[in-house]
A and B are shown apart, each in its own frame.
Chain A
Amino acid sequence: MADNYSGRDYDKMPEYWDKRYARGLENLSKPVYQVIKEEDVPMYTRDGVRLMVDIYRPDAPAGERFPGLVAYSSYGKSVQTLDRAPLQFKTVLMDHTIEAGDVEYYVQCGYVVCIPDARGVGKSEGQWDGLYGRQEAEDCCDVIEWLAEQPWCTGNIGMIGISYFSILQPFVAALQPPHLKAIMMCEVLDSLYHHNYVGGAFFDRSFLYNHFCPANNQMSWSERHYTEEELKEKVERRLQDPDVKASALLTRVLSCWPPRHQSYFFDIILHNCDDDFWFERTLTNFVDKIKIPMYLGSEYYDRGRFTQGPFYVFNHCDPSIPRKVLCPESHDDLFLPHRALTLEYLRWYDYWLKGVDTGIMDEPPIKLKVEATGKYRYEHEWPLARTQWKKLYLRAGGRMDFTPGEGEGPDTLVFRSPLTEQPVYPREVPGLSWSTNPLPEDTEVTGPLTLYLSAALNTADAQFNILLNDVDEQGSRQYITSGSLRASHRLTGFEKEQPWAPRHDHSRSVPLVPGEINQFVLEIMTISRCFKKGHRIEIVLKNICNTEFNFITFIPPLETTQYDIYHTGAHPSYLLLPVIPESPEENWLQPEAR
């Protein structure tokens, strides 16, 4: 791509705007103001804690007022407007945290942007207790209400920023601060537990928040909520878990007393079941309290809970709320600072905070980029009503087919622990794979995927990690997404009996009987993708979710694990695919020619 230093391409109509629904674009706010930055402005929370915020506002005569946009995170306000080109998220970790968006542009268009240092972070007082907790949401409400009273603010407030800045927004909205009028997210997590323990299997990326969040004072939720004896007992028990004993990182964090090293990660490791810690950080518990317009977005992620989130909220919130969904890109395409959606944010907030109508609410509510087509499409419901739910059966010889086999298998994966068994282990993590024959035609898969696996294990517990790949004619694999399950977290049923919405009991582990064949149902993260004619859809079963043995994001076991995967009439195994037949032509977005 062309090296565009600023990443700003605001003169052209974006590819996610449809000319049929764009009207009055000449009324969209234009970048006419100079920017004033007021650094280190103090404000006080309801409990008297002083937070430091940075204010970026339009240089305008006294008396002129503007709507406010709050960008709230624990990443530190000082790095949100660092002067650098947008870097691809995946390539340079250090830039992960410049996520408030194009602050300067919003101000030039006549908005005030307020970026606080969260409590206990950067220059703010108080004590930090990690991500997306009740304390943080309340503090953000206080910032919103304070901002609304400022002399240069109209009192109409929205929120901006991606990732952390987005995920927090619905929690804040659920507390209903009076001056918060609309929110817009790029990344939504319906369940933080499922993000850190995908299907109950630990995914330890959260240790990085120790890097990203410059806390000057921190304490874990657990230390606040349990007595010392209670907490010590819980820690001692968790330290005995095999997955903790195998890990230097987990052992180190859990062993600290008092637990002030990576206090947020401490909470995450300690609470390996969906329990009281997760409750206040789980959006599903509060989604019905949101009463303001929401624009829900997410990239297509390959791991975690991101892509599910917007669709969950879309379907479970108060149906009378105006809302939209946008999935604009694969997270591999994500660049930070994030400027790709600036104009969409502007159009949304121009409508809800300034009353400038450019047709954004005329569009059908859901807008998806269908990967591998380069095009966006409108939809009205989720999953799509015209979905053909097809079963791709696991077959012998590593194949998958829409017709089931008989008398085939089982297929066996023996995963030797890299920690005890292998003197020299292979560079590639071993796995079992199944793939379709080359597809006879372009096949669109849009929606949640679900893997039904009949399996026996040689142990009382194990992790299933499934990777989904798109394999082209030359055999090159593109890794698309994944799903995981901790085998001992039992299936409890399906939401509304929908076979693509399994529910598990993550509050406890129920050991399996080694050798017994059980059916396991894994959620695989939502995609929207056209698998091209001649390509193959492939799934790979592994114990740890990596292509290579170099960065272990799931903890490998200390013992050898054997998986026997059955696919017979009595013990079927299949991938439930949401296949989308032809889409009406008018559903496809018609952007202006670029």
Chain B
Amino acid sequence: MKIERNRHIALSDGVRLKADVYRPDGEEPVPALVGWSAFGKEVQAVGRGRKPLKLGQCMDDLSIEISGIDFWVEHGYAVVLVNPRGISTSEGVWRGLYSEQDQKDCAAAVEWAAWQDWCSRKVGMLGCGTAGRIQPMVAALQPPHLKAIMPIDLVDDLYAECYPGGALSNYYLPFTSTIPMINAMSDAEAEMDWETLLAAMKESLKDPAVQSDPYLYRTMDTVPPRHFPWLVDIILHNKPGEFWEKRSTQNKLKDIKIPMYCATLCYEFGRSTFGAIRAFLDPDCTAPRKLMLLGHPVDRHTPFEEPNGEMLRWYDHWLKGVENGIMDEPPVKLYVTGENKVRTEETFPPKGMHFKSLYFQGEGKLSFQGPKGETPEELYHEPPIYKSQFSRNLPAVKYATQPMEEDMELSGPVSVTLYSAVDQDDAIFVVKLWDHRPDGTRLLLSDGYLKASLRGLTAQSKPGEPVHDVFHPLEVAQGEIYEYVIGMNPVCHVFKAGHRLEVELKACDAESYSFTDFVTIPRLFSSGLTSGVLPGTKFTRFQFYHDAAHPAHLLLPIVPAAPADRWTDWSGGEAHG
């Protein structure tokens, strides 16, 4: 292997980026794989000398987004890792995740790699997390030598990730602090005049959600706002709009002309799973595409080597012309948790998926039969900021099916329709979907959130996929029952016979977390503990109805059982599951 450190990539505005190149010995030109991570290039090398660790068990390792550096070089590829501007050792000013500047700079880095002596003029990209998400945005700019991409993790709508159901989440707080910005500025500071900026910051300090979180509060009371500028942008851009669209994939798909293999995990929280599925399905995109769902984050390791076997086949085909049949295979590859095996499909949700309503019933039951129970369930929310004891077991109304008599696969979008009355003029609903195993342990599959006043649905809504009108809040009259259709994260999971499907209705997702848990956010999600959305700051009583007039239900994406010969074991990567 040859390693070239700190090569300069000169950008058209004079800023120089630093890049490391790992490439094979020998004279033969090789394709380049560009890794563009907000965590910088230096930290990626830490993964080389060690085994992948289970995600969340070694502090801070989620910053290792590029895996398999040695693997790629052994297989005849050059790996080019770049520090974005304002990150680690590169010049310039960082403007937050997935900025337009980063997209353009990365396209320039792709072209730089293409023209190196050792390069075959064919370039792809690699990496997960931020290094995955940037890929389709770069591809949409159509740098001439970018020939194929394989983003692990995509983000269709970054606003929805920062404001799930319209409620502010501090999800990005820990990420922000681990991004090695050496020179950063928010778009807000760069684009607003100074007085307007200060006024906007002062206004944000009145938001009860910001007041409830000292980290956010401090950030917005720092002048100039250079403490976590990325959070400044998140808080000041509190509605959908151009700021978010520029940093999201959804509107860029029609401009992607190169083959794209969308891969991700089935995350309970966040937009990666939506992003991959929607990019694969988008009808306006003409690029050849595949989709791979890689299972549950609880199984993930960092560095994330699991997809590399498949990625090798992908790039061998598109960058080296190897006829390995990858495009002849069905386009969708699913690692289905519960069954813990792989199945291919023509599309996602799989053919034969049909929605079925699972109804809430009194006494904590869930049933396909229909709603039942005249007495509403009650939930009392005490805002954490007024509590001296912070229990791990936050109030929740729980519902569960009987143990399954046979396996049930759910693959596709999930939504829940609630009928609820509250005694405040707004509230936050939190819904959690679990697989409750016979041994009593649980696996968290999906989260959903909604701010009560934002329950209005737009015309873009589809079964299982509500889209809410964030610009027109609706009245929440105290004590009045409203219908709430809450979108949840997609699932791809088999409930084995004997398991129960469990749903929790909560008002607060920020359970107590120790020193330990705070810094291992991905593990948090799969354990039911999460930073999630910031909880409401008013004492609130919820009533949940489930009778004939108020048929509260989950809409489940049921897939008929696949015969045994459709399943294969996972192969093509490191230990899985």
A interface, over-half SS: loop
B518 touches A98 (CB 8 A): no
Segment among B50-58, B318-326, B448-456, B482-490 that sits at the interface with chain A: B50-58
Most chain A CB atoms below 10 A, which of B182, B221, B519: B221
Most buried by A among B47, B214, B222, B520: B214
Task: Return the chain A residue nearest B63 by Cβ.
Answer: A248
* CB neighbors of A among B52-70 (8 A): 53, 56-61, 63-64
Residues on the A chain within 8 Å of B46, using CB: 245-248, 251
Residues of B within 8 A of A122 (CB): 218, 221-223
Instruction: Tell me if A225 is interfacial: C-beta within 8 Å of chain B.
Output: no
> Does A261 belong to the interface (CB within 8 Å)?
yes
A215 to B58, CA, bound (A): 27
How long is the Cα–Cα vector from A551 to B60 in the complex, in angstroms?
A: 9
From B37-45, B119-127, B246-254, the one touching the partner chain is B37-45
Any B CB within 8 A of the CB of A258: yes
Tell me, in angstroms, the Cα distance from A246 to B58 when the chains sit together.
10
A29 interfacial contact with B, CB 8 Å:
no
Q: Given that A5-B388, A93-B515 are known contacts, is A249 also in contact with B221, CB under 8 Å in the complex? A: no
Residue of B nearest to A96 (CB): B214
Knowing A85-B387, A550-B56, the reply to whether A78 touches B515 (Cβ < 8 A) is no
Q: Which residues from A are CB-within-8-Å of B520? A: 550-551
Given the contacts A87-B390, A214-B227, A249-B59, A420 and B219 also touching, CB distance less than 8 Å = no
B183 close to A (CB within 8 Å) = yes
Contact with B along A254-274 (1 / 0, CB 8 A): 011111110000000000000
Interface centre among B205, B217, B388 (most CB of A within 10 A): B388
B498 contacts A by Cβ under 8 Å = no
A341 close to B (CB within 8 Å) = no
The one of B215, B226, B514 that contacts A211, using a Cβ cutoff of 8 Å: B215
Contact with A along B486-524 (1 / 0, CB 8 A): 000000000000000000000000001111101110010
B49–A558 touching, CB < 8 Å: yes
Within A1-58, the residues touching B (CB, 8 Å) are 1, 3-5, 7
Nearest Cβ on chain B to A186's Cβ, whole angstroms: 19
Chain A positions within 8 Å of B74 at CB level: none
**Which of B104-112, B150-158, B173-181 sits within the interface?**
B173-181
Contact (A550, B523) CB under 8 Å given A88-B390, A211-B177: yes
B301 to chain A, nearest CB (A): 11
B residues near A497, Cβ cutoff 8 Å: none
Render B380-418 as a binary contact track against A, CB cut-off 8 A, 1 for contact: 000011111110000000000000000000000000000
Residues of B within 8 A of A420 (CB): 49-51
> Does B224 interact with chain A (Cβ within 8 Å)?
yes
CB distance B388 to A85 under 8 Å? yes
Contacts across chains A and B counted by CB atoms under 8 Å: 178
A248, B89: Cβ atoms under 8 Å? no
A94: chain B residues within 8 A (beta carbon): 213-215
Q: Is the CB of B180 within 8 A of A76?
A: no
A552 interfacial by beta-carbon distance below 8 Å: yes
- With both beta carbons as reference points, the residue of chain B lying nearest to A98 in the complex is identified as B214
Tell whether B88 is near chain A: CB-to-CB under 8 Å.
Answer: yes
Question: B89 touching A255 by the CB < 8 A rule?
Answer: yes
Q: For residue A76, which residues in chain B have a CB less than 8 angstroms away from its CB?
A: 218, 221-222
Q: Are B214 and A215 in contact (CB under 8 A)?
A: no
Bound Cα distance from A1 to B181, whole angstroms: 43
The answer to whether the Cβ of B225 comes within 8 Å of any Cβ in the partner chain is: yes
B221 CB contacts on chain A under 8 angstroms: 76, 78, 122-123, 214
Chain B contacts of A548 at CB under 8 A?
516
The interface residues of chain A lying within 8 Å CB-to-CB of B57 are: 418, 549-550
Q: How far is the CB of A334 from chain B (nearest CB, A)?
A: 12
Whether, in the assembled complex, A492 has its beta carbon less than 8 Å from a beta carbon of chain B, the answer is: no
The answer to the question of B211 belonging to the interface, with a C-beta cut-off of 8 Å to chain A, is yes
Residues of B within 8 A of A83 (CB): 211, 385
Are A256 and B89 in touch, CB under 8 angstroms?
Answer: yes
CB-CB < 8 A to B63: which residues of A? Answer: 248-249, 252
| Interface flag for A216 (CB, 8 Å) | yes
Q: A3-B387, A7-B388, A419-B53 are in contact. Are A551 and B59 (CB under 8 A)?
A: yes
In contact, B182 and A256 (Cβ under 8 angstroms): yes
Residues of B within 8 A of A440 (CB): none
Tell me the complex Cα distance, A214–B39, Å: 20
CA distance A507 to B40 in the complex (A): 32
Interface residues of A in 226-260 (CB under 8 A from B): 245-249, 251-253, 255-260
A90 near B386: Cβ-Cβ < 8 Å: no
Nearest residue in B to A263 (C-beta to C-beta)?
B182
A82 at the interface (CB under 8 A from B): yes
Q: How far is the CA of A418 from the CA of B51 in the complex (A)?
A: 8
Considering the complex, give the chain A residue whose CB is closest to the CB of B531. Answer: A94
Known: A79-B214, A82-B211, A90-B515. A255 touches B180 (CB 8 A): yes
Q: Report the Cα distance A95→B214, complex, angstroms.
A: 7
Bound-complex Cα distance A97 to B216 (A): 13
B195 CB to nearest chain A CB (Å):
15
Tell me if A387 is interfacial: C-beta within 8 Å of chain B.
no
Question: Is A558's CB under 8 angstroms from B512's CB?
Answer: no
Across the interface, do A214 and B219 meet the contact criterion of CB distance under 8 Å? yes
CA–CA, A488 to B356, complex, Å? 66
**A216 and B227: CB pair below 8 A?**
yes
0 or 1 for each of A516-554: is its CB under 8 Å from B? (1 = yes): 000000000000000000000000000000001111110
Closest B residue to A417 by CB, please name it: B50
Task: Please state if A85 and B60 are interface contacts (CB–CB under 8 Å).
Answer: no
Q: Tell me the nearest residue of chain A to B575, going by C-beta.
A: A423
**Is there an interface contact between A251 and B227, defined as CB atoms closer than 8 Å?**
no
Q: Is the CB of A551 within 8 A of B51?
A: no
Is A430 part of the contact surface with B, judged by Cβ < 8 Å? no
For residue B61, which residues in chain A have a CB less than 8 angstroms away from its CB?
248
| Complex alpha-carbon distance, A246 and B43, angstroms | 10
In the docked arrangement, what's the CA distance between A424 and B57, Å? 11
Which residues on the A side are within 8 Å of B47 (C-beta)?
A: 248
Structural contact, B386 and A261, CB atoms closer than 8 A: no
Find out whether the CB atom of B513 lies under 8 angstroms from the CB atom of A92.
yes
The A64-82 residues at the B interface (CB cut-off 8 A) are 75-76, 78-79, 82
Is B386 within 8 A of A210, CB to CB?
Answer: no
Cβ–Cβ < 8 Å partners of A257 in chain B: 88-89, 182
Answer whether A5 and B43 are a contact pair too, CB < 8 Å, given A76-B222, A252-B88, A418-B58. no
A335 and B388 form a contact (CB under 8 A): yes
- CB distance B43 to A551 under 8 Å? no
Chain A residue nearest in CB terms to B390: A91
- Chain B CB within 8 A of A358 CB: no
Kindly state whether residue A86 has any CB partner on chain B within 8 Å: yes
Residue interface mask B19-30, A partner, CB < 8 A = 1: 000000000000
In the complex, what residues of A have CB within 8 A of residue B219's CB?
214
Across the interface, do A91 and B512 meet the contact criterion of CB distance under 8 Å? Answer: yes
In the bound complex, CA of A13 to CA of B512 (Å): 32
Q: B387 contacts A87, CB within 8 Å? A: yes
Q: How far is the CB of B505 from the nearest CB of chain A, in Å? A: 23
- The residue of chain B having its C-beta at the shortest distance from the C-beta of A551 within the complex is B516
What separation, in Å, do the CA atoms of A214 and B384 have in the docked complex? 23
| Max chain A Cβ within 10 angstroms of own Cβ: one of B218, B224, B516, B519 | B218
Minimum-distance CB pairs A-B, first 10: A255-B42, A214-B227, A551-B516, A249-B60, A84-B385, A419-B50, A78-B221, A76-B218, A261-B180, A79-B214
A211-B215, A260-B182, A418-B57 given; name 15 further pairs at CB < 8 Å. Answer: A5-B386, A79-B214, A85-B388, A88-B390, A91-B513, A92-B513, A121-B222, A214-B222, A214-B228, A251-B45, A257-B182, A335-B388, A420-B50, A551-B515, A551-B516
24 A-B pairs with CB atoms under 8 Å apart are A76-B221, A78-B217, A84-B385, A85-B388, A86-B388, A94-B214, A122-B222, A123-B222, A214-B218, A214-B222, A246-B49, A246-B50, A248-B64, A249-B60, A249-B178, A251-B43, A252-B60, A252-B88, A255-B42, A255-B180, A423-B575, A424-B575, A551-B515, A552-B58
Question: Which A residues contact B (CB, under 8 angstroms)?
Answer: 1, 3-5, 7, 75-76, 78-79, 82-88, 90-95, 97-98, 121-123, 210-211, 214-217, 245-249, 251-253, 255-261, 335, 418-424, 548-553, 558
